[in-house]
Structures are given as C-alpha cells and as structure tokens.
Amino acid sequence: MVNVAVVGGGYTKFGEHWSRSLRSLATEAGTLALQDAGIDGKDIEALYVGNMSAGRFIGQEHLGALAADQAGLLPIPATRCEAACASGALAFRKAYMAIKSGEYDIVLAAGSEKMTDVKGTDAVATLMGAGDQEWESAIGLTFTGLYALMARRHMAQFGTTREQLAMVSVNNHKNGVHNERAQFRYEITVEQVLKSALIADPLRLLDCSPITDGAAAVILVSDRIAGKFENPAWVLGGGHASDTVALHDRASLTEANATKIAAKKAYEQAGLSPGGIDVAEVHDCFSINEIMSIEDLGFCRKGDGGKFVEAGKIALNGEMPVNTTGGLKSIGHPIGATGIRQICDILSQLRGRSGRLQVSGANTGLACNIGGTGATSIVHILGKEEPKGR
Amino acid sequence: MTHTSSVPLYWRLKKSKYNVIGTRCRTCNTAYFPGRQLCQNCRRKGEIEELKFSGLGKILSYTIIRTAPQGFEQYTPYAVAVIELDEGTMISGQIVGNPAGLKIDQRVKPVFRKISEDGSDGLIHYGMKWELVDGQ
C-alpha cells in the first residue's frame, strides 16, 4: 500500500477580509503551502478544494476549476468537495485517497470560504443549509439553536455546567492569543462568556465560533517521493462517517455516532488508542461540540467532557492538549477552510514549529472536523514516523 | 431566504406539515415522522405504510432563539424543542406561548399556526407548532 505524507501547509490570516476576495485568499493559501513544501506549481498533479456554500455566499460555483485557474495550475484535474463544515477535511480525505490509489504522487488539498459579503442574517440562513431544510430551517432553527438543544440535553443528562461550557472558549482564546493568524487574539474569562449575549439559550455569543473569511492549503505526497522533503507528517489513519442530517432523527442528542465510527476506524488504522494521541484539533464550532467530541473521540468517558475541561486536561500543558492554536472559536471558522487549517496546525506541531504553542515531544496528532450537527465527521491521525507493513 | 417560498414544496409536504402523518415500516414496526420512503433498518425489504401519529409527545430538549435567520427576526425570542413523540420518534418544533417556564419532559400537543411569511406581500406559510398540554 502507498503511504501518504503531508509535506507543506499554510493558511491566510483568518478574519473579516472586506478588501479580499475568495479567489485572492485561496490563491494566497495555495502559495503558502507550495512555499512551505519547497515545490513548484508545475509539480502538482491534482487539486481538491473544500468549500461549503460559495454559491450562496458570493454567487460563485464551479470552484474546482476556478481555484486551479487562479493558482496557475491549469489544466490539472480540480474537484470541489462539500460536506458543510467538514468540507475541508473531505478535500483532504479525497486528496489522500487519490494518492493512496496510486494515481498521483503530489496533490494539493485546499479549503476556503468567503462569508462576510452577505449580511449576518443571510449568513445564518446559509449555514442552516447544513441542517435539514424541510424540518429544521423551515421552523426557524439556527445552528446555534441546534447546538443549544444538544447542550441543554447534555447538561440535563450528565450535569455538565454552564461554566464548563465557558471554559472551552476560555481555553481556546488563551491559545489563540499566540496564533498570529487568528481572528480574535485576546483572552476571555468565564465571567465574560456568561455575561455575553444569549444567542440561543443556553448558548451565548462567546460559545460560538465567528463568521470568518479565510483559506488554507496543504501538500500531500506519496512515499515514492516523500524522501525529498524534510519533516514529513505521515497520515497514520483516517475515518469518515455519516449520520442523519436532522438532529431529531438521531438516537441520541448527546453523542455524534459519526465521530465515534470515524475515530474508531482512524485509531484502528493508526494502531493507536486515544491515549496515544499527543495533540488534537477538535471541531469547536460551539463550546458544547468540543465537549461532546472529546467524549466521542474517547479522550474521556461519555458525559465526563465538562469535568475533563474543568480539570484543565485540554490545556496546552494538560494531559490531552486540544485546540492548541485557538480552535474555531479564536482562530475563526471560514467553513470550508477549517478542516485544512486543522491539518496545517497538526503538521506544525509534529514538526516542532509551533513556537509558544508547541506541545513538547508531539509525535502524533489528531484532527476531527464535523459537518452540520454531526451528519458528517472526518477524523485523521498524523504522526512523525512512517507507517510500516500496511 | 429560507427556501420555503415554493408553493409546491408546501403542497407536497401537506400531510406532515398540517397533520402528524408519517410512515411506519410494517416489517420492523419502526415509526417515522417525518415519513420516510425507505425504512432505515429494512430498506427495500421493509413494507412502508402511512401512519397517523397521536400527536402527543414530550420535550426532550429546548432552546430559545434570540438571533433568528432571515424571515424569523420578527418572532424572537421564540422557543424550539426536540419533541419525543409517544410512538418513539423525535421531531423539531416551535413551542408557542411564553418560553420562560419551559422544562424538559413537559407534555406537548400540536397546534395549527402561522410559521413565517415571505415579506409583506409574499406567501404566508402555515404549519404545526406545539403547545403544552393543559395543567402543566
């Protein structure tokens, strides 16, 4: 079997880029990744680009060809990947599989979203495209509302507290201060979270990731040529699973079965248990999702996520550092870019290039990117050592 | 735009939007609301039939929406719940009335209400909301 390595990555400053277009941001991210890998555009054999909703955000579809065109990569095959908020990880997964198939040796996986060209209420409605149009959007639900339904149930079922939810945002902001590409580079307190505006009870403004413009890109190569690159991060395992699009069609409101299945597959392929992960990027679109996901990923038992956070275990120097570069909450969440941005930050950790945010001795890293309320979940595990005997 | 402005969309959903009519798989006896054309367990082997639900259920979780999507701004704050129907399936729905005293496990029943409108001179959409069963 072909082994696959990530050999370069980069992302733009995340934020409200009123003076920049989607194509400009995506091209910058691609250029950063190529520079980082030390290769030329002519080396790239295929392109996968993650994007949720350019059609509604900027009226632009056909992003695969557009990205290849703008990046000067014509005529390579270019494919857009969409799985709501997991679009970035999906692009990465498809790029990985394209190399795994033996068809290509060097592939560019990118993700981008331009969200601030529409007004806020339009963005809220567009994001609801990730839910069930006929039965969730049609009755006035929002994504904050859907995660609020999960949060209240989690609190009732497991005793998770409002303060524990706030501590997720506090942790991620604390890390994000040192990420120069983060949208919000300041610390917040539990008290500030609890006093921020209610968006959908019990979730408040500071439980929510923001609306963001940004793009990210990584270069994947086969083991045939990986020897030419310094410090590759190998893909040790991955999983991708689906669940019902409507939250109310699930067996449980407090766990994402797709994450459990995707993680199980990724751990099996990597030959690792959750305890073997040194650093993790976990999808904190809302504070409750980080708590549910660290449970679903097996970092703690179901229901114990709040206590795990409160005990400081997800901190940079904790036993399971999570979202060491700021997470979606502080870095921002340009939907299609997030899954690729997570891979960039894991790559940086494994290379020991994360500066003040470095987890010392990080040999393995996990990225979990979730679409909608958990209808898509994609998990990848990367490591410094090339997998053997597969 | 919430894409609810299509008359055919509402027309083809009229059984489930105006009544609690879904489906049941006779093969494995699983009830679906909204109805499904294919049973998730039995797929093509499942025999699907129409099922009129009692409409009664209880609140499994709820939220109060304060920042609404386009088309719903004028209704904030409004409550939305995931309701577990007595037949054993769940559905999302708005809860009418004062959201202040809502609690998990409260019993609810469906009521026919205006859901939204497409601007001042557009279509008015009707459908089901839910209210607390008397005496709670």
Answer whether B65 sits within 8 Å of A125, measured CB to CB: no
- Residues of A with CB below 8 A from B67's CB? 124, 142, 144, 199-200
Cis before A202? omega within 30: yes
- Rounded to a whole number of angstroms, the distance between the first and last alpha carbons of chain A is 6
Asked if B5 has any chain A CB less than 8 Å from its own CB, the reply is: no
Angstrom distance (rounded) from CA B81 to CA B106: 11
Global confidence as pTM: 0.97
Unique residue bearing structure tokens 């559905």: B91
Q: Supply the pLDDT for residue A124.
A: 87
Number of helical H runs and strand E runs in chain B: 2, 8
H helical segments located in chain B: 7-12, 14-18
Residue A313: closest CA among A299, A297, A330 = A299
B72 alpha-carbon distance from chain centroid? 16
Could you give the number of structural domains in chain B? Answer: 1
Q: Count how many pairs of residues, chain A against chain B, have C-beta atoms within 8 Å.
A: 113
- Residue at B66 is within a domain: yes
A124 alpha-carbon distance from chain centroid? 19
Averaged pLDDT for residues B72-76: 92
Count of residues in chain A: 390
Q: What domains can be seen in chain A, in order of their start residue?
A: 4-119+210-383 (3.40.47.10)
Residues A346 and A357 sit within 8 Å (Cβ to Cβ)? no
Angstrom distance (rounded) from CA A14 to CA A113: 10
Averaged pLDDT for residues B85-102: 95
Residues A209 and A341 sit within 8 Å (Cβ to Cβ)? no
Give just the sign of the alpha carbon dihedral A199, A201, A204, A210. negative
Per-residue b or e along A76-103, where b marks 16 or more CB atoms closer than 10 Å to that residue's CB = bbbbbbbbbbbbbbbbbbbbbebbbeee
Asked if A200 has any chain B CB less than 8 Å from its own CB, the reply is: yes
The H or E element that residue A27 is part of is: helix A22-37
How far apart are the CA of A25 and the nearest CA of chain B, in angstroms?
27
The H or E element that residue A37 is part of is: helix A22-37
Q: Respond yes or no: is residue A333 known to be catalytic.
A: yes
Angstrom distance (rounded) from CA A6 to CA A298: 25
A111 alpha-carbon distance from chain centroid? 10
List phi, psi (to 5°) of B104.
Answer: -60, 145
Angstrom distance (rounded) from CA A107 to CA A117: 30
Q: What is the ipTM of this complex?
A: 0.96
- Residue at B3 is within a domain: no
pLDDT tens per residue, range B2-39:
455 678 888 898 899 999 999 999 999 999 999 999 99
Q: Respond yes or no: is residue A85 known to be catalytic.
A: yes
Domain housing B69: 55-136
Q: What is the CATH number of the domain that holds B102?
A: 2.40.50.840
Averaged pLDDT for residues B46-66: 97
Q: Could you give the percent of chain B with pLDDT greater than 70? A: 96
**Average of per-residue pLDDT values in chain B:** 92
- Residue at B14 is within a domain: no
Of B2, B62, B129, the CB nearest to A137: B2
Q: Which amino acid is at B81?
A: A
Unique residue bearing structure tokens 């009870």: A201
Assigned token pair, B12: 């083809």
- Residue at B19 is within a domain: no
Instruction: Tell the burial category of A11 from Cβ atoms under 10 Å away from its Cβ (0-12, 13-18, 19+).
Output: buried
- Residue at B81 is within a domain: yes
Residues A195 and A208 sit within 8 Å (Cβ to Cβ)? no
Answer whether B104 sits within 8 Å of A138, measured CB to CB: no
- Residue at B73 is within a domain: yes
- Residue at B21 is within a domain: no
- Residues of A with CB below 8 A from B66's CB? 197-201
Residue A201: closest CA among B107, B58, B101, B116 = B101
Q: Supply the pLDDT for residue B1.
A: 45
- Residues of B with CB below 8 A from A121's CB? 68-70, 73
Of A124, A135, A203, the CB nearest to B92: A135
Q: Supply the pLDDT for residue B123.
A: 83
- Residue at B60 is within a domain: yes
Asked if A122 has any chain B CB less than 8 Å from its own CB, the reply is: yes
Q: What is the pLDDT along chain A (390 residues), one digit of tens a residue?
A: 899 999 999 999 999 999 999 999 999 999 999 999 999 999 999 999 999 999 999 999 999 999 999 999 999 999 999 999 999 999 999 999 999 999 999 999 999 999 999 998 889 889 999 999 999 999 999 999 999 999 999 999 999 999 999 999 999 999 999 999 999 999 999 999 999 999 999 999 999 999 999 999 999 999 999 999 999 999 999 999 999 999 999 999 999 999 999 999 999 999 999 999 999 999 999 999 999 999 999 999 999 999 999 999 999 999 999 999 999 999 999 999 999 999 999 999 999 999 999 999 999 999 999 999 999 999 999 999 999 865
Q: Could you give the percent of chain B with pLDDT greater than 90? A: 75
